[in-house]
Amino acid sequence: MVPCCIGVAGYMGAGKSECSRILAGEGFTVIDVDTEAKKVMAENSLVREALRHEFGNAVDNRNIDFRILGSIVFNNDEKLRRLNGIVHPVVLRRIERLLSRWKGQTCIVVDAALIPMWSIDRWFDLLLWIHAPSEIRCARLAAKWPELSEVEIRRRMEMQERQFSPPSGAAWRHLDNSGDRSSLQESIRSCLQERNGSPAIPR
C-alpha cells in the first residue's frame, strides 16, 4: 500500500473507533489519541501536577482516577476547557512526533474526535468525519458505558457538540455510520478509491 496518513474524527458514539479498527485490519497503524492522552496524564509529571492543582481529589502524586475526573469535567464546560488546556498541547506534540517518525513509511490512522477543533488538517492526506443520528449514538454509548444514565450520556454528548461543529472543509469526507459494519467498510473503501493514488481496501 502507498503510505498515507488518515485522520478519523466524529462525535462520541458515531463510530470513529470502528472505522479505525476496519483500517487496522487492513494493515494501517492506528494512533488512538484518547489512549495517548491518558498516557500523557499518567506519565508526564508536569501535566499531572497541573491536573492535581486544578482538579484536586481526582489526582494524587501517582495516580489519576479517570472516573472521578470525568464526572468533574463532563458536568462543567469551563472545567472541561481547563482540562483541555492542560492536556491538549502536550498530546498534540506527542502525536506530531509519532507522525514525523512514521509518516512516509507506513499507512497511519489518527483516531481523534477533536481534529476539527485543533485545526490540524494539514497533517493528513485524507480526513474522515464519521457521523450518525444522536439516538443511535446515545444507544451505542449506553452499551459502552452501562454505569452512566441516559441523562449523563446526553450531557456528555451535548458538551462535546458545544466544543466544535462538524467540519465543512473540502478536505473532509463525511461518512454515515447509522448502518452496520459492512456499510461503513464500503463507505471507507469508496473514499480511499476516490483519492488519487490512495490504497483501496481489497474486497
Quote the pLDDT of residue 1.
Answer: 55
Quote the pLDDT of residue 104.
Answer: 74
Among the listed residues 77, 76, 82, the one whose alpha carbon sits nearest the alpha carbon of residue 54: 82
Give the 3-state DSSP-derived string for the chain, with helices as H, strands as E and coil as C.
CCCCEEEEECCCCCCHHHHHHHHHCCCCEEEEHHHHHHHHHHHCHHHHHHHHHHHHHHECCCCECHHHHHHHHCCCHHHHHHHHHHHHHHHHHHHHHHHHHHECCECEEEECCCHHHHCCHHHCCEEEEEECCHHHHHHHHHHHCCCCCHHHHHHHHHHHHHHCCCCCCCCEEEEECCCCHHHHHHHHHHHHHHCCCCCCCCC
Quote the pLDDT of residue 58.
Answer: 81
What's the CATH class of domain 5-192?
alpha beta
How far is 128 from 171, CA to CA, in rounded Å? 9
Quote the pLDDT of residue 149.
Answer: 95
How far is 31 from 7, CA to CA, in rounded Å? 10
- Digitized pLDDT (tens) for each residue of the chain, 203 residues in all: 566 899 999 999 999 999 999 999 888 999 999 999 999 988 898 998 899 889 887 887 678 888 888 888 988 999 999 999 999 999 999 999 999 888 777 899 999 999 999 999 999 999 999 999 999 999 999 999 999 999 999 999 999 999 999 998 888 999 999 999 999 999 998 988 886 554 444 33
